[in-house]
Chains A and B, each alone.
Chain A
Amino acid sequence: MDKENHSSKPIIISIISLTLFLVIWEIVCRAGLIDPVFMPAPSKIFARAVKLIGNGELMAHTLASTRRVMVGFMISSMVAIPFGIFLGSSRLFMSICDPFISLLRPLPSMSWIPLSLLWLGITETQKYSIVFMGSFAPSLLYIIEATKSIDPLLIRAARNLGASKLDVMREVILPGALPQIISGLKVMLGIAWTCIISAELVAAREGLGFMIMNGKEYFQTDTVMLGMVMISITVMVIDVVFKKFERRLLPWTR
């Protein structure tokens, strides 16, 4: 049992299975078994990628969507984290806000699109607001749950050492809930992407969602599929970055 061999095997198998899949897909398309408008060959999608990278369009669309997700998600997290900690540690404020959270939570982000268009028009602010509305209520619930999971003994110990209620929130509840908050936010980041792509599909002038919708208008199935592949890749890259960031934020869990 060579250790190195043992760990690299699954990756090799994965690469082979992916390559095999692409090769079969290519052959099926080249043999004319599938209408290219219905399903273009991988080489066609690749050629489209090369073209769109060359003229800078692909990067522009990807960056536009990424920027919207990041801005909306940051604002949502920056409001949800302190608000959630506050709600999680105060029964009174929880009872005051509970009906509103319960009403907001079941609303899919899509349902905000018409209202946000009426209020804000096809603007960047409208895109951020969709991400915000889609991720705020679920983030808040994750954070309230995380706050409640703190060992009450630690709160006692902190109070016994002279911490005020505010000190307890900053010094005990926030760091104590952070591992759970971060794993919640990771899920929320995925949801934020869903929000922005839906918003772009409905009304936008740039972004991956727009690119996909525009491709569909011109029957460019390769552009549509390229857009979908780009979403996957971008989310995967952000996930890796997020994990690095997570390790730096939570040094004690190592």
Chain B
Amino acid sequence: MDTLNGQSKICVNNVTKCFSSKQGEVTALKDLSLDIMDGEFLVVVGASGCGKTTLINMIAGFDSPSSGEILLDGKPVTGITPECGMIFQQYALFPWKTVQENVEFGLKMKRIPKSERKTIAAKFIDLVALNGFEKSYPHHLSGGMKQRVSIARALANDPEVMLLDEPFAALDAMTRQVLQEQLVRIYEKHKKTIIFITHSIDEALLLSSRIAVMTARPGSIAQEIVNDLPHPRNADVQLSDNYMALKRKIWDSVQAEVLKSMEVETG
């Protein structure tokens, strides 16, 4: 893991993260190493509290490792990096900005002229099928629509990597499925490197090109699984033996970790 693969977009090298809390020092991640290839759709699966969000926050530069390092294109991540566009579970849209102004935000920060901003924003609003809602404020939109705005906002800023932290966890099943399909289409069209965090094994299997299963706290990578299920991953694929076998494999791994963490808590 110590050598830099030519195609690695992000290298997480032996990262440990400790937080001090009222109960004393808590180790959220311990010696976690993970390589993310350029153009790959990596889904990180793990039980709640295993440090998934801590990991993605450090890749985005919101937080720094206690030890170890994170490299983006071979360079250490030292602060917040706009190259890694983040999509939050709680959408994090600016309530005082319209859909269009939200999507334009990153471009505005780059001091791109207004007319150009408008053209680019229109393209991405179109991509997430929100035409006609350009002038709406976020609180008039449903959860699914808000998350689509958030995706368009991240894409308009043209990041090299997209980080998604349980983006569909707060949505109903139907909306979630629509957004998953949209995300796969966007991934295929725009060829971004994607790191997607979830606790849903089905979501991981539907979206990923590779899956990393995390251990219980302190988190590290328990298992990495290449997901070569054929696209589109429709009902047929989801009922195939291959899908079931992969699901069982991940489930066993996740379950073992959940049991371990419960033992730690009760014992």
Contacts and interface: CB of A to CB of B under 8 A. Distances in A.
Interface of A: 151, 153-154, 156-164, 167, 171-172, 175-176, 178, 250-252
A171 B106 CA distance: 11
B73 to A, nearest CB: 17
B106 A154 contact: no
B114 to A, nearest CB: 15
Nearest to B57: A156
- The secondary-structure label for the interface of chain A is helix
B195 interface: no
B109 A157 contact: no
Interface stretch (B64-72, B81-89, B169-177): B81-89
A160 B82 contact: yes
Interface string B149-182: 0000110010000000000000000000000000
8 contacts: A154-B92, A156-B86, A157-B92, A157-B94, A158-B94, A161-B85, A176-B94, A178-B96
A161 B95 CA distance: 16
A161 B157 contact: yes
Contacts of B94: 154, 157-158, 171-172, 175-176
B170 to A, nearest CB: 13
A13 to B, nearest CB: 36
A157 B138 CA distance: 15
Interface residues of B, number: 25
A176 B96 CA distance: 7
A118 to B, nearest CB: 45
Contacts of A252: 95-97, 137-139
A158 B102 CA distance: 10
A161 B82 contact: yes
Contacts of B22: none
A160 B109 CA distance: 11
A175 B86 contact: no
Contacts of A160: 60, 62, 80, 82, 84-86
Contact of B110 (A158, A162, A172): A162
A81 B92 CA distance: 24
Nearest to A158: B105
Contacts of A178: 96
A11 B95 CA distance: 36
A100 B59 CA distance: 41
Given A154-B92, A157-B94, A171-B94, 16 more contacts: A151-B92, A154-B94, A156-B62, A156-B92, A160-B84, A160-B85, A160-B86, A162-B106, A162-B109, A162-B110, A175-B94, A176-B94, A251-B137, A252-B137, A252-B138, A252-B139
